[in-house]
Structures are given as C-alpha cells and as structure tokens.
Structure 1
C-alpha cells in the first residue's frame, strides 16, 4: 500500500517545529519569488488592457508598460532597502514615503500613457491595484503551498 498524502497542516507543522526547516523553507520561498513575479508581469498587462478596454493599444503596449512599471518598482525598492540600511533610524518614514512615491509614479505614468482624466485614472488605478493584489495573494499562496510540498 502506498504512503498516505501528508496534509498541508502537517507539512506546515513540520516546518515550524524545526529551525533548520524554517530557514530552508524561507530560502526556497524567496528563491521562487522572481519566478512568481515573472509570471505576474503578463497578467498585470492583461488587467491593464482590460481596465483600458477602450484604448486602441494592442496587448504589446500594456506589456511593455508592465515591464517598465515593474522595473521601476524593483529598482526603487532596491534603493529603499539600501537607504534603510544607511538610515536605519528612519525605517518607518522611508517605507511610508517610498510607498507614496511608488503609488504616485504608477498613477502619473498611467495618466501619461493612457491620457485619461484625473478621476478616471484614479478609478482605473484602484481597479488595477485591487485585481493585481488579488492575483499576487493567489499566486503567493500557490507558491507557499508548492514550496511546502517540495521540501
């Protein structure tokens, strides 16, 4: 008779009981994040295309915009991490200001790219943010479960 499948709860409990397993889990999880973001890039572009369905732009243009925005976020996030190491006493303020700058940048770039009014762009921005957050949570959950079962 074959081995019974291990439940998710048992896998998680096994990882949390051992410090070495916890560290291995975190390391494997971090190694999967770039793959997750690579998969999310075209999905972000698809959501952007759906949010701007009246736009005459084909799918390639939102895809290029998606690569542009993600590149900015990764670069700016890296700069924030470095600043946080240097200015560790301002860590909460740096995070707050960094998030505000990132959100403003996405809003302004959407407004410039799609030439919408302020309120229409704000509406599209929030719709995009909600849909993308849902996709990130969903894919993050899949990555966590997959990482637990591949340990």
Structure 2
C-alpha cells in the first residue's frame, strides 16, 4: 500500500473545478483505502476550507472538509515541524511543511502538480506527479497479480 501526502492545492483545484487535473484527483480520491492511503496536512485542510467557504459557501466547505476528514488521514503540523520547515532551503514554505510531514510520518511520497516547488529537496524520488503515481500503482498491481 502506498502512503502518500497529497498537496492541498491539488484538492483545491479539483473542488474549484479549475484544472485539467480534476479527473486525476477524482480517480485518486476514489482509490482511498484500496491501494493508496492518503494523507493531508491539517494546514492544507484549513486552506481548502477557507477557499471553499469564500468561493462557494460555508455549507459546501463543511461537506468537503467532513468528507476529507473521514476518508483521508490528517497529519497534524506542530510547532517543531513548522520550525524545521522554516529552516528548509525550499522557497515555497507550504512545500517545506509537506516535506517535513513526509519525513515525520514516514510516508512514501508527495503528490503534486508543482514539482518545481520541490526542486531543492535532497531526494526528489519522493516527489511524484500523477503520472509517477499511476505508473507505480500499475507496477504494484502487476507484481501482486504475478505472486
């Protein structure tokens, strides 16, 4: 099973229906609890709520956040993690927080549509696009079938 941290911006893009990635995000959310265990930072969840409440309405924001809370594991970002992210060489602070969460919670990867935000990560092997994710899921499925 893959344990991945999804970039909050991906979910936000899908909720706002403003990206060509909406189909990939929907497919990913449908795979929760099958071959992929998804994680999201509590900071990312708050961001999703705030934008959804402003751009749609609070009722829709509550529905989205409730669904995410029931289906995705939430990584709590604490003061120590924020301090570690502050010291990161990454220019994008949210990305630095996600890398700290990846390490702290011992996750397999971060799924993002903005890999350039992670260009200064020491081991870029942990930064996946949807293409990378689907390739790995397909390979894992083939391996399980052959055994």
Using the size of structure 2 for normalisation, the TM-score is: 0.28
* Higher helix fraction (1 or 2): 1
Structure whose CA Rg is larger: 1
**Bigger RCO (CA 8 Å, 6+ sep):** 1
Using the size of structure 1 for normalisation, the TM-score is: 0.27
* Higher strand fraction (1 or 2): 2
